Amino acid sequence: MPPILNVSAFQQLLQSFLTEDLGAGDVTTNCTIPMQQRALGEVVAKAPLVLAGIDLFGEVFRLLDANTKIEIALQDGQQINPGQIPARVTSTARALLTGERTALNLLPRLSGIATITRRFVDAVAGTGAQILDTRKTTPGLRALEKYAVLVGGGKNHRKDLAEAVLIKDNHVRLAGGVTAALQGAQAAAGRVAWIEVEVTTLEELCEALRQAPDVILLDNMSPELVRTAVEQVHAANAQRTIRTEASGGITLANVRNFAEAGVDWISVGALTHSAPSIDISFEIKPL
C-alpha cells in the first residue's frame, strides 16, 4: 500500500509554485479565453510509469478554481501503461491553461522518482536489502520527493539533519578520526533515531565496530569488499543489532550484487537527483 499523502499540508507550497509561474497574470490565456468557458483536461501517460502525485496534480487546479471537479481513475503507486488516463479535471478553461505547466512540472517529476525507485526495488527482490533515498533532493521538494520514493516501494533515509547522526568522511577528518567522532556522537544518543558512521576501509570498519554504532555505512566499496565487511560486522555483532548500509557507485546494473553481499540498506542518491521526468501530457478540450 502506498503512503497516504495529506494534500492540504502542501497547499501553501503549491500556491508558491503557481505564484512563481503566474507573475502578474496569465496574459495569453486572459486575452484569448472567455472567463466563463469551461473545459475538460485529461492526464495521459505517454510512457510506462509508476504514478506519484496525482492528488497534488488536481489540487493545483482547485487552487485556481474552487469549483474544479477531479475524477481520479488510477491511484499513486499503480503501474500505468502508455495511453492510460489516470485522471480527468473539469474546471474553467482559464484555470486549466494557467495551472497546466505547474501541474505538469510536478506529476512527471514525482512519477519519475517512483518509477526508478520501483526498478531498484524489483532488482533486489528476495534479498532482504532495502532501497533507501538520500538528502540529495530538490530544495523545497524534499517531502514530496521522499513521498515518491515511498510510492515506488523504497524507504526513506533521514529526512533532515536533526533526525539521525550520520558521521561522514569530513566529520571524521575534522573530529580527529572515527573513534573520536563516534564518542562525540554519544551526546545525541536517545535524542536521534540512530547513530551511523561512514567507513571506506576495513581498518576504519574495525575502529567503528569497537564503538558499536547503530549503523555502519560502507561507502564506495566494491560488492566483494562489502561482502567481506558485512561478514566482519556479523562476526563482531552476533545479535545483528548493527545494521549495514552500502552507498556510492550503485546502479541498476550492479545493485543486486550489493544486495547479495548481505547489507541491510542500499542508499541511492540517483532516486531523487537523477530521476528523469516521465512523459505525461494534459490534453484539454472545451465543454
Q: What positions carry a catalytic annotation?
A: 101, 136, 168, 198, 219
Measured in residues, the chain has a length of 287
Cell numbers at residue 145, please? 520527493
Write the burial class of residue 25 (CB in 10 Å: 0-12 exposed, 13-18 middle, 19+ buried). Answer: exposed
What residues form DSSP beta bridges with 247?
219, 267
Q: Is the dihedral of CA 159, 160, 161, 163 positive or negative?
A: negative
Identify the CA nearest to 136 among candidates 26, 268, 3, 44: 268
Q: How far apart are the first and last CA of the chain?
A: 36
Q: Give the neighbor-by-neighbor strand order of the sheet with 87-92.
A: 69-72, 87-92, 38-45, 280-286
In degrees to the nearest 10, what's the CA dihedral of 157, 158, 161, 164?
Answer: -110
User: Are residues 246 and 110 in contact, defined by beta-carbon separation less than 8 angstroms?
Assistant: no
